[in-house]
Structure 1
Amino acid sequence: ELNHDDVRALLERPEIKYLSEMMNFPGVLYKDEEVLKKIAAAHELGKPVDGHAPGLRGDAVQQYIDAGISTDHECFTAEEALDKLQRGMKILIREGSAAKNFEALVDLLNNWPEMMMFCSDDKHPDSLVTSHINELCARAVAKGINIFNVLQAACINPILHYKLDVGALQVGDDADFVVAEDLVNFIIKQTYIDGVLLAEHGKTVGDWIKHNAEKESVNHFDCGFKKVEDFVYPYQNESEIPVIEALDGQLMNFGMKQGAIASSVAHDSHNIIAVGVDDKSICEAVNLVIKETGGVVALGKGKEEVLPLPVAGLMSNHNGYEVAERYTSIDKFAKDLGSTLIAPFMTLSFMALLVIPHLKLSDKGLFDGDSFSFLVD
């Protein structure tokens, strides 16, 4: 665990621009000493603190803001976002692969252009290769939002808030900019960094990236193979066993009919997380993740698909388009196995994120995100 001294040491590095996502909002509200010292370290170094406060309203969110937290990207309703805006908090309109809040929040841009930004938060590679913030710009313009409000939220506000080393087309700035086909569809034709063409028509150009998939990756993944009996639920003749369902972004029903899926991406501790129709399938899926020292796995119907993640068990070292193609395939396979979720792997990863209400999974048992405590049988 990173303590406040570790956080300060990292924040002292010039390339680290802010303290990201103060997820432990109960720690802020209950004035946990270690949490407050981390926030103080960022402020003392002149760096902003990002928030993470789903559903926090009224006096509670005011206390959170007063602690020095300046943004939130977890608003699901316009009412919640407006409450935070009126209290001086900046709101990031999130549109990811699982959590989608654009439609609920975008109209606030009409009156709060200087206080809002766009973000994706968590977005799958197959979505990233088609669009990112540019898609949100196009959708906002299509809804009648003033073009200058849209551009301010997409371009200017992030640079100013996070004090980014990015040119803003002012005299003396670095020539960092994109060339769009128009300001309606926002199809990006070219990207320039420091005045040099970096990408054109969606492809990297020149020698900017010396890609080497064979380069040794940093990975401290350490886990021994599992046996089927490790996954057997220890019940004793109960007539009913408690189960969990999963909807997109929350626990409800995964809908799996065959096999299992597993992943070493499980926010934020990133233990292996899996769901399947039987212990044997779950065990096989978990062992495939272990074999690859990290990855995303689906198996069933007599076959298996694996997307290895050799960098810390969380990232690939391969070309983004190749990763997107493989992810598209494994996502489709998970749905062929019965999952009815829009983003089964993203939903699976968020099932382990303890700081988002309500019921979550951890390596220490079920966790209640509302009371911020583990559930005891």
Structure 2
Amino acid sequence: MCGRWHMEFLDNLIDACLGALPLDLLVFGKIVDVYRNNISEGYIGIKNGLIVYVGSKPKRARETIEHPSEYILPAYIDGHIHIESSLMTPSTFAKAVIPRGTCCVIADPHEIANVMGLEGVKFMINDAKRSPLKIYFMIPSCVPSTHLETSGAEIGLMEIKKLKRFKQIMGLGEVMNYWGVIKKDRSILEKIKTCSGMIIDGHAPGLKGEELCAYALAGITSDHEVTSIDEAEEKMSLGMWIMIREGSTAKNLSKLIKIISKGCPERSMLVTDDRHSGDILNEGHLDHCLRRAVEEGLDPVDAVKMVTLKPAEYFGLRDLGGLSPGKSADIVIVNNLKEFKASVVLINGKITAKNGLYLGISRPAAPPKKILRKIVNIGAFKPKDLCIKHPSRMKGKVKVRVIGLIKDQIITDEIHCDMELVNGEVKPDLERDILKICVLERHEGTGRVGKGFVMGFNLKEGAFASTVAHDSHNIIAVGTNDEDLYKAIIRLGEINGGLVVASRGKILKDLPLPIAGLMTTEDAFKISEKMESLEEAVSKLGCKVKSPFTALSFLSLPVIPKLRITDYGLIDAKKSKIVELFIP
């Protein structure tokens, strides 16, 4: 397949293929054929950044690299990721994932869009240009995600039309407001209509039956929120693509990968969604997904197809996804099809990483001043604003709704607990692992704060807080007492966003995130080191959750069942409405 962008070089490419001109690079090894599910020894010839020859005979080349015992794969494509969740900018993120074999990602920048709107999305697009990683973007469709939280910006029809002009835009990002689609909300349907003919990603956990049909009818063609085989099969039967997620918090691969062994690999791919910098360094990116899939019993070549050929087909990336003439020479050479340890990564035919080290271009640039402006406004927030009082009673027991964490998932449970009133106030119950949680609006300085309780963190003292709080990224904090909660929140205002741990009235650790309260310009190694220090501090306070800040960040997402919390209070995500903390 010859794309129009290299037709002018076609004569030279044909000559190089036939041996009349030398290849730029010849690669020898065990070629993984994702088209025929086959592995065979052979050569791949590269000219002008493209694959021009695949065969069993060597060709004349300026340079040859031989890896007879290793496997040559198409480089990987992540079909759904929020780069901001790594706490890195796109150009810095690229340096972390390229050595792992990733050549392309399709990013939904709705995190920064919820804080900075169009300006934030443009920053992501421009910063991505400073890297060899092929970074495409989906237009954030739901900013804010619903009317049940306060965002710092909106992405409306005007912004969508402006973003459509960028060549890096692939389509409309995950349509989280699925009830808006089903109930024919004009604003969301107009957004979908504006992107007609483009790819439209979905987000519809648990949706089924006629409501799922109505959702798919709008032209929504994928979902990464699937958590069961039955759900996956129903959505596949309606023509939707299933993105099997294995991120830092949401881990659905173990359960869903079984659908591939049942003979349904055609409309599925592996994605990460949200992946923290430390996890990328310590476990990997899509290479980690490949290892996990093979561990679960999936055929290695089928697994490779799910991070190469399948996402390329879904997104129409005709120059990626396989090792065939005319494709971009984006190649990863791995030690075996169990560990997937990359020894060489090529992007556009150039060696961009070797043995885990990034060797590509590096064009550091400070973010524009407007991106680094003051972005955390806590207004006239006072300690008394954290108090949870019953509206009519002073003593006795009351029944309250409590958010329940679920291990390795971002869905939550709704737990009803009897709690003691003391002078009309309900306080955390550490013996039962019931902690106070709050979300403070930070964009407009209204001082509005949603308050509630959560189980699952096992914190025994102190508090921790963050401005990474999906999706509107207000301040979210959890703690054992109001003093430390207040201390942590105030510190976030002082550092203009980030992550904070407090105990006994003192700040133990913090990590400033000067870009929208979501990202820093530091690299993965520095971020990982600081995150380990933060998580260690939280662990010493008793927390048992592996990635406590990541787990906390999703508790404010009002489009994931069941019980959530935003600056408006507790949210029943399934019914998309505010519910009272106290149960009559």
What is the TM-score of this pair, normalised by structure 1?
0.92
Partner secondary structure for residue 296 of structure 1:
strand
State the alpha-carbon separation in 1 of the partners of residues 291 and 309 from structure 2: 17
1:53 to 204, 207, 210: 204
- Correspondence 1:375 to 2:579: yes
Match of residue 15 from structure 1: 168
Partner secondary structure for residue 251 of structure 2:
coil
Match of residue 405 from structure 2: 247
Note if contact 1:17-1:163 (Cα within 8 Å) is conserved in structure 2. Answer: no
Note if contact 2:172-2:201 (Cα within 8 Å) is conserved in structure 1. Answer: yes
How do 1:23-34 residues align onto structure 2 when only pairs under 5 Å count? 23-34=176-187
How do 1:323-342 residues align onto structure 2 when only pairs under 5 Å count? 323-342=527-546
> Deviation at 1:5?
2.8
- Correspondence 1:295 to 2:446: no
State the alpha-carbon separation in 2 of the partners of residues 311 and 118 from structure 1: 29
> Deviation at 1:78?
0.9
> Deviation at 1:231?
1.8
State the alpha-carbon separation in 2 of the partners of residues 190 and 314 from structure 1: 32
> Deviation at 1:200?
2.2
Alignment CA distance shift 1:214-1:32 (3 Å): closer
Q: Which amino acid aligns with 2:357?
A: K
Partner secondary structure for residue 344 of structure 2:
strand
Aligned residue-pair number: 374
State the alpha-carbon separation in 1 of the partners of residues 554 and 260 from structure 2: 28
Match of residue 97 from structure 1: 248
Partner secondary structure for residue 266 of structure 2:
helix
> Deviation at 1:126?
1.0
State the alpha-carbon separation in 2 of the partners of residues 323 and 216 from structure 1: 22
Partner secondary structure for residue 564 of structure 2:
strand
Bigger mean CA deviation after superposition, 50-59 or 193-202: 193-202
State the alpha-carbon separation in 2 of the partners of residues 214 and 80 from structure 1: 42
1:79 to 224, 230, 233: 230
Where relative contact order (Cα < 8 A, 6+ residues apart) is larger, the structure is 2
How do 1:163-312 residues align onto structure 2 when only pairs under 5 Å count? 163-164=316-317, 167-168=320-321, 169-206=323-360, 208-211=361-364, 216=369, 218-220=371-373, 221-224=375-378, 226-235=381-390, 237-240=394-397, 242=400, 244-248=402-406, 249=410, 250=412, 252-253=454-455, 254-300=457-503, 303-312=507-516
Alignment CA distance shift 1:228-1:63 (3 Å): same
> Deviation at 1:310?
1.1
Higher strand share: 2
Q: Which has the larger radius of gyration?
A: 2
Match of residue 27 from structure 2: none
Partner secondary structure for residue 17 of structure 1:
strand
- Correspondence 1:114 to 2:266: yes
Alignment CA distance shift 1:280-1:145 (3 Å): same
RMSD, aligned α-carbons? 2.1
Residues 69-98 of structure 1: CA distance to partner in whole angstroms, max 9, x if unpaired? 111111111111111111111101111222
Alignment CA distance shift 1:277-1:143 (3 Å): closer
> Deviation at 1:167?
3.1
- Correspondence 1:125 to 2:277: yes
**Ranges in structure 2 where 5+ consecutive residues have no aligned partner:** 1-153, 414-453
Identical counterparts, % of pairs? 33
State the alpha-carbon separation in 2 of the partners of residues 214 and 15 from structure 1: 20
State the alpha-carbon separation in 2 of the partners of residues 286 and 20 from structure 1: 31
- Correspondence 1:62 to 2:213: yes
State the alpha-carbon separation in 2 of the partners of residues 350 and 337 from structure 1: 21
Alignment CA distance shift 1:124-1:6 (3 Å): same
Residues 251-306 of structure 1: CA distance to partner in whole angstroms, max 9, x if unpaired? 64122111101000111111010011111101111111111111011122655111
Residues 207-265 of structure 1: CA distance to partner in whole angstroms, max 9, x if unpaired? x1223568757145131464322322244624346362431432641221111010001
State the alpha-carbon separation in 1 of the partners of residues 156 and 568 from structure 2: 21
- Correspondence 1:39 to 2:196: no
Note if contact 1:354-1:369 (Cα within 8 Å) is conserved in structure 2. Answer: yes
What is the TM-score of this pair, normalised by structure 2?
0.61
